[in-house]
């Protein structure tokens, strides 16, 4: 059983997935951040692979990507960092990124190396459903990686059910059609999540985009298994001299 599936079997509510950008704020921050998140209560960790044109990301994550790339972060470097710390990481890890750099690296090579360094799952928002079914899904499965599709309030019930069938691990419910870090109307989100709950999907649901504090995390968790926080954590890291201290403070405000 994958670590992601084991997590959702063990914990049924208020699962906290925290996103950060690999190579931000410093090139060597990656492992330090993972250890801090693991130590202070994150259930899942989503590592963003920086890319020059991150379509789904808002200004905070875009800026962190630009800095990470300027710092010299690459897929090769990220895999080296994860391999060095593999024995110390117990929390499930998800890589989130875009197809262009993954294809340049080599898709099967990417999946093989990701699995080898302890990655549990992938989120590739621009991998279309058809290509997943006909080509890439079999490769992802071959290396034992979970794959998480994104759904939005505009996604039809039929398509949600289809993406639920194809996903393993969980479904990523985008709270609105905005980019990451946007303000979110949680009355509208509640109706959307209630609709998802009524579909009786196979996968648990985590809510992302606009989750930034205890209030939004609690609201998102009401009709879902938990939520994903990204931009707010990256903002907290911006001038962090002590990653562990900042992370402990940030997570305590959400989980207390």
Q: Which residues contact 152 (CB under 8 A, 6 or more apart)?
A: 173, 174, 176, 177
pTM of the model: 0.94
Three-state secondary structure call for residue 172: strand
Contact 250, 233 (CB under 8 A): yes
DSSP letter string, 74-105:
-HHHHHHHHHHHGGG--S-EEEE--HHHHHHH
Q: What is the fold of 3-255? A: TIM Barrel (3.20.20)
Name the residue with higher pLDDT: 182 or 248: 248
* Cβ neighbours of 35 (radius 10 Å): 17
* Residue 168: pLDDT band with limits 50, 70, 90: very high
* Cα–Cα distance, 35 to 40 (Å, whole number): 9
The single residue listed with the structure tokens 């194809």 is: 166
123-137, 185-199, 230-244: which is most confident: 123-137
For 179-204, the DSSP string reads: -TT----HHHHHHHHHHHHHTT-SS-
Catalytic residue numbers, as ranges: 46, 57
Q: Which residue from 45, 99, 88 is spatially nearest to 229, judged by alpha carbons?
A: 45
Question: In whole angstroms, what is the distance from residue 109 CA to residue 107 CA?
Answer: 5
3-state secondary structure of 207: strand
Q: Is there a contact between 96 and 48 (Cβ–Cβ < 8 Å)?
A: yes
Per-residue pLDDT tens for 108-166?
A: 999 999 999 999 999 999 999 999 999 999 999 999 999 999 999 999 999 999 999 99
Average pLDDT on 231-243 reads 91
pLDDT at 176 over 80: no
Residue 241 has what pLDDT? 83
Distance of alpha carbon 222 from its chain centroid, rounded?
A: 20
Tokens of 249: 């403070």
Structure-token pair, residue 188: 């509208």
Strand-pair partners of 96? 48, 123
pLDDT above 90 covers a percentage of the chain that reads: 84
pLDDT of the residue at 240: 79
Domain ranges within the chain, ordered by starting residue: 3-255
Q: What mean pLDDT comes out for the span 163-170?
A: 97
């Amino acid at each position: 059983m994958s670590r992601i599936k084991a997590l959702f079997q063990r914990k049924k509510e208020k699962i906290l997935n925290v996103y950060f950008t690999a190579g931000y704020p410093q090139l060597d921050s990656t492992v330090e951040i993972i250890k801090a998140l693991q130590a202070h209560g994150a259930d899942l960790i989503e590592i963003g692979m920086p890319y020059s044109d991150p379509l789904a990301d808002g200004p905070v994550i875009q800026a962190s990507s630009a800095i990470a790339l300027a710092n010299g972060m690459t897929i090769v470097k990220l895999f080296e960092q994860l391999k060095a710390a593999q024995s110390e990481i117990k929390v499930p890890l998800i890589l989130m990124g875009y197809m262009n750099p993954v294809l340049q690296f080599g898709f099967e090579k990417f999946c093989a190396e990701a699995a080898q360094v302890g990655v549990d799952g992938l989120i590739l928002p621009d991998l279309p459903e058809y290509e997943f079914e006909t080509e890439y899904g079999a490769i992802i499965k071959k290396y034992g990686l979970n794959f998480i599709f994104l759904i939005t309030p505009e996604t039809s019930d039929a398509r949600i059910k289809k993406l639920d069938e194809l996903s393993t691990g969980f479904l990523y419910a985008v709270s609105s059609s905005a980019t990451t870090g946007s303000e979110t109307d949680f009355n509208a989100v509640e109706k959307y999540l209630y609709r998802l709950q009524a579909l009786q999907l196979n996968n648990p649901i985590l809510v992302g985009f606009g989750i930034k504090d205890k209030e939004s995390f609690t609201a998102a968790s009401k009709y879902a298994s938990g939520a994903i926080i990204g931009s707010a954590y990256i903002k907290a890291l911006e001038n962090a001299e002590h990653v562990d201290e900042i992370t402990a403070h940030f997570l305590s405000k959400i989980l207390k």
